[in-house]
Amino acid sequence: MKVDLTVNGKEITADVEDRLLLVHFLRDVADLTATNIGCDTTSCGACTVLLDGESVKSCTVLAAQASGHEITTVEGLASNGTMHPVQQAFHEQHGLQCGFCTPGMVMAIVSLLKENPHPTEEQVRIGLEGNLCRCTGYHNIVRAALAAAEVSS
C-alpha cells in the first residue's frame, strides 16, 4: 500500500507492506537509524518517536496508521547545527552511558516537557516509566530532563 508520512519535516511517500511497523519504516525506508529497536514489545521505549508531537513507541504503530501524520525522530530535533535543549542537557549532565536508550529517552522527555514544562523530579521519574535504561543510568537522565526544563523556562 502507499503511505505518505512527514518525517522531520520532509514528506516521504513509499509503497510498503500493510503490516510494516513504523519503526521499520523509519529505519529501513526513511534510512533514519537513530531510533533503536529494543524489546520490540512496547515495554522499553527505545523506539520512542513523536507522532503529531506526542511520544509513541514506534514498534507498536503501523506505518499505515501513521500515514498522513507528522513524525519526529531524534535526527529531527537539532536546528541549524544547534542541539535541542534536551540533547544539550544530556551532553552536559552526562545523561547517557552506552547510549542505546538515549534517542527514546530524549524523545520521551521532549514530549514530557511539552505537556509539563516545569516538572518536579518525581514527575520526571513517573513520566519516564515507559523508558528503560539497561545501564540503569537513570539519575543523570532525570538530571538532564530537569536541566532542560530549567534552560527552556
Residue whose C-alpha cell reads 511539552 in the numeric block: 114
The DSSP letter of residue 53 is: T
The CA angle 112-55-124, to the nearest 5 degrees, is: 25
Residue type, 9: G
**C-beta closer to another protein: residue 54 or 121:** 54
Residue 40: CB minimum distance to another protein, A: 5
Smallest CA-to-CA distance from 25 within 42, 45, 43, 2 is with: 2
Smallest CA-to-CA distance from 93 within 54, 124, 58, 50 is with: 124
Residue 46: CB minimum distance to another protein, A: 11
- Dist CA 140 CA 149 (whole Å): 14
Residue 1: CB minimum distance to another protein, A: 6
**C-beta closer to another protein: residue 15 or 79:** 15
Residue 19: CB minimum distance to another protein, A: 5
**C-beta closer to another protein: residue 68 or 99:** 68
Interface residue list for another protein (CB under 8 A): 1, 17-19, 21, 24, 40-43, 45, 48, 51, 54-57, 59-62, 64-65, 108, 111-112, 126-127, 129-131
